[in-house]
């Protein structure tokens, strides 16, 4: 769980618990049990949404690692093939083989 989410859930639960203990003192301030129950329900929803995001992050991280390994292989292949042309042809002809002339 993300530290920010975990911290918010923890702080909110403690607040709700203590507000419920002191609800009589807080009623005249506009605090209701319905509000506290709604806050509790929102925390459950937040926790579930965070778990879903964690799962997506894990899947994404795996896909990014896979993509990066494919990218590395493509770069290595490109460099290997480029060296062939650079080794046998003058720089003026490199563009004919799709190799940019970086002068």
pLDDT of 1 over the 70 cut: no
Average confidence (pLDDT) over 8-15: 97
Length of the chain counted residue by residue: 103
DSSP symbols for the chain: --HHHHHHHHHHHHHHHHHHHTHHHHGGGT--HHHHHHHHHHHHHHHHHHHHHHHHHHHHHHHHHHHHHHHHHHHHHHHHHHHHHHHHS-GGGGGGGT-----
pLDDT of 2 over the 90 cut: no
pLDDT of 102 over the 90 cut: no
Give the residue extent of every domain in the chain: 3-92
Rounded to whole angstroms, how far apart are CA atoms 72 and 85? 21
pLDDT of residue 101: 73
pLDDT of 71 over the 90 cut: yes
Q: What is the pLDDT of residues 25-59, one digit of tens each?
A: 999 999 999 999 999 999 999 999 999 999 999 99
pLDDT of residue 103: 58
pLDDT of residue 40: 98
């Amino acid at each position: 769980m993300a530290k920010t989410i975990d911290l918010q859930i923890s702080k909110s639960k403690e607040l709700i618990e203590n507000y419920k203990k002191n609800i009589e003192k807080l009623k005249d301030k506009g605090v209701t049990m319905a509000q506290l129950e709604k806050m509790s329900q929102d925390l459950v929803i937040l926790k579930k949404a965070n778990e879903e995001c964690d799962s997506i992050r894990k899947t994404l991280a795996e896909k990014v690692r896979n993509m990066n390994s494919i990218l590395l292989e493509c770069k290595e292949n490109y460099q290997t093939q480029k060296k062939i042309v650079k080794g046998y042809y003058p720089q003026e002809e490199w563009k004919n083989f799709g190799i940019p002339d970086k002068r």
